[in-house]
Chain A
């Protein structure tokens, strides 16, 4: 499952981008072009084959996320970098409320304080109160997605990575997510996101990076690397 090098975030043939602090960069392109993979490289779920991913950390200063130590990544994930996927991967047998509250505990919050912060956020994301004590595994797609968002929003990360976070939400919920995203941006959170719907993207993104424009020049390279897999 080696990562194809079309995904490396590096100058010249490969991909280069720069996201100024406190702005939102959207990534666009047809499916399969590597949007999510870029995001996973930044979060280090994928290992970058070549290139650098520079991130200005509060703790470590400028740090290359592609070579940071595992311990540094664990700290960054807990404290600075949030990641929201299309899919909810949570520990079973934990109530929705606690799933959302848990990320606050390492910050020294008491369980009660963390829960009350979680309640406020769940309310804002329009999750009905009777579900708060239910297990997210039993929720509908849209509800799960909102739990996922809440889990990432609650710690107010410095960098938020969003992988189609609104794919299965209804319009009202989308608007509430949008409001939170805008608010977080105003407070200085930098965001990189992939959205399927352009409407949503245009409403929050400061820049949109279209992968198709890069891909054409590089097309042979991409195919070749995929072929080796």
Chain B
């Protein structure tokens, strides 16, 4: 038996040649505190640290640039306080950014800086363009509302008012994340941590956003539950081709999910590259420390 040569589909060739990033972020910076004349722009010096000596303001995220392509998973690693969460919360418009721009190719053809959008546009973007899964399910879910109601909230925000259709979509989503349909009307507070996380994922996916942001989604879950959540994320990425930004301090999670990885330290991107290269041939001393701490 011979192995037959593969034929490449035509659509694929084209998409490779003129690949357009889904998300383009330029110069994203976020300062906490009032700021003063000494810290009006973030320093790019790693040694200087991110806290202003004069007024105590902190540049939590300093001038981050990156691109994310459709269907791709980008990993973000770094220790506590490196600015991972601030970065992803800024991307989801939870935090007002200090500087920077973000465009999404599916929103107004990528011509609008989402950070400067009006409150109304931002609401639309958060419902249609991206979904967010927080480490703490209390941030992403209304714990005392039913699980189906949580999803309905998203669907209604996207102008779906047909109750039958809403329930149909809710049960479809919950089924996808393996929450028994018989429990769809129970509030998430009745559920275990892993189940809450899965309800949160289904809620984030309610309107089929092209971009999903995941902030430490498996942190604090026990191993077998963690495995289930990770398997779910992987299968969603494969079936729905959603692009994702996965923030985690767990290199195992990043290794398993991400094609490319950025390493953050004190708000700066100290290294980025292919995930296996970051793990096997880290260039920056901090990444080296991080990788060797794992082994």
The chain A residues found within 8 Å of chain B, CB to CB, are 1-3, 40, 44-47, 59, 70-71, 73-75, 79, 91-93, 104-108, 120-121, 124, 153-156, 180, 183-184, 187
A153 touching B9, Cβ below 8 Å: no
- A91-B234, A153-B3, A187-B5 given; A59·B16 CB < 8 A: yes
The complex places the Cα of A118 from the Cα of B17 at a distance, in Å, of: 29
B6 at the interface (CB under 8 A from A): yes
- A59 — nearest CB in chain B belongs to which residue? B16
Q: Is B227 an interface position by the 8 A CB rule?
A: yes
Identify B283's interface contact among A47, A108, A121, CB under 8 A. A47
Q: Are B9 and A107 in contact (CB under 8 A)?
A: yes
B259 with A74: CB separation less than 8 A:
yes
Is the C-beta of B256 less than 8 angstroms from some C-beta in chain A?
Answer: yes
Residues of B within 8 A of A (CB): 1-9, 12-13, 16-17, 19, 69, 72, 227, 231, 234, 238, 256, 259-260, 272-274, 276-277, 280-283, 288
Interface centre among B1, B280, B281 (most CB of A within 10 A): B281
**What are 20 A-B interface contacts by the 8 Å CB criterion?**
A1-B281, A1-B282, A1-B288, A44-B277, A46-B277, A46-B280, A47-B283, A70-B260, A74-B260, A74-B274, A79-B8, A92-B227, A106-B12, A107-B6, A107-B7, A108-B12, A121-B3, A155-B6, A180-B3, A187-B3
> Given contacts A180-B3, A183-B2, A183-B3, are A47 and B277 in contact (CB under 8 A)?
yes
Q: How far, in angstroms, from A3 to B288 measured CA to CA in the complex?
A: 13
List of A residues within 8 angstroms of B256 by Cβ: 91
Q: Which residues of A contact B3 (CB under 8 A)?
A: 121, 153-154, 156, 180, 183-184, 187
Contact of B69 among A1, A46, A71, A183 (CB under 8 A): A71
Contact between B274 and A44, CB atoms less than 8 A apart? yes
Q: A47-B277, A47-B283 are in contact. List 13 more A-B contacts (CB 8 A).
A: A45-B281, A46-B277, A70-B272, A74-B260, A92-B227, A104-B6, A105-B238, A108-B12, A124-B1, A156-B6, A183-B2, A183-B3, A187-B3
From known contacts A91-B256, A180-B3, infer whether A107 and B281 are also in contact, taking CB-CB under 8 Å.
no
Residues from chain A with a CB closer than 8 A to the CB of B273 are 47, 70
A42 → chain B closest CB, angstroms: 12
Tell me whether A71 and B277 are in contact (CB under 8 A). Answer: no
List of B residues within 8 angstroms of A154 by Cβ: 3
A153 to B259, CA, bound (A): 21
Set B8, B72, B231: member contacting A93, Cβ < 8 A: B231
B280 A71 Cβ-Cβ under 8 A: no
Provide the bound-state CA to CA distance between A155 and B6, in Å: 7
Q: Within 8 Å CB of B6, what residues of A? A: 104, 107, 155-156
Which of B4, B16, B17 neighbours the largest number of chain A CB atoms within 10 Å of its CB? B16
Q: Least Cβ distance of A129 to chain B in Å? A: 16
Residues of A within 8 Å of B227, CB to CB, are 92-93
Q: Which residues of B contact A40 (CB under 8 A)?
A: 280-281
With A45-B281, A70-B273 already in contact, the answer to whether A59 and B238 are too (CB < 8 A) is no
Contacts of A106 in B (CB 8 A): 12
A82: min CB distance to chain B, Å: 12
Q: Determine how close the nearest CB of chain A comes to the CB of B224; give it in whole angstroms.
A: 10
Whole-angstrom CA separation of A104 from B12 in the bound complex: 13
Contact: B1 with A45, CB < 8 Å? no
B234: chain A residues at CB < 8 Å are 91
CB distance from B287 to the nearest CB of A (A): 9
A50 to chain B, nearest CB (A): 14
The docked-state distance in angstroms from the alpha carbon of A146 to that of B99 is 52
Residue in B8, B12, B274 whose beta carbon sits within 8 Å of that of A73 in the complex: B274
Decide if B259 touches A75 in the complex (CB within 8 Å): no
Determine how close the nearest CB of chain B comes to the CB of A5; give it in whole angstroms: 14
Contacts of A59 in B (CB 8 A): 13, 16-17
Which A residues touch B288, using CB under 8 A?
1
**Chain B: CB-nearest residue to A48:** B281
Q: Please name the residue on chain B nearest to A105 by beta carbon.
A: B238
A155 to B2 CA separation, bound complex (whole angstroms): 13
In the complex, chain B residues whose CB is within 8 Å of the CB of A187: 3, 5
- Which residues of chain A are within 8 angstroms of B9 by Cβ–Cβ distance? 107-108
Q: How far is the CB of B239 from chain A (nearest CB, A)?
A: 10
Residues of B within 8 A of A184 (CB): 3
In order of increasing CB-CB distance, the 8 nearest A-B pairs are A46-B281, A108-B9, A45-B276, A45-B280, A70-B260, A75-B16, A74-B259, A156-B6
Please measure, in the bound complex, the distance between the C-alpha atom of A26 and the C-alpha atom of B72, giving whole angstroms: 34
* Most central of B6, B12, B227, B283 by chain A CB within 10 Å: B6
User: With A and B bound together, what is the CA distance between A3 and B282 in angstroms?
Assistant: 10
Chain A residue nearest to B238 (CB atoms) is A105
Nearest-neighbour CB distance to chain B for A123, whole angstroms, equals 9
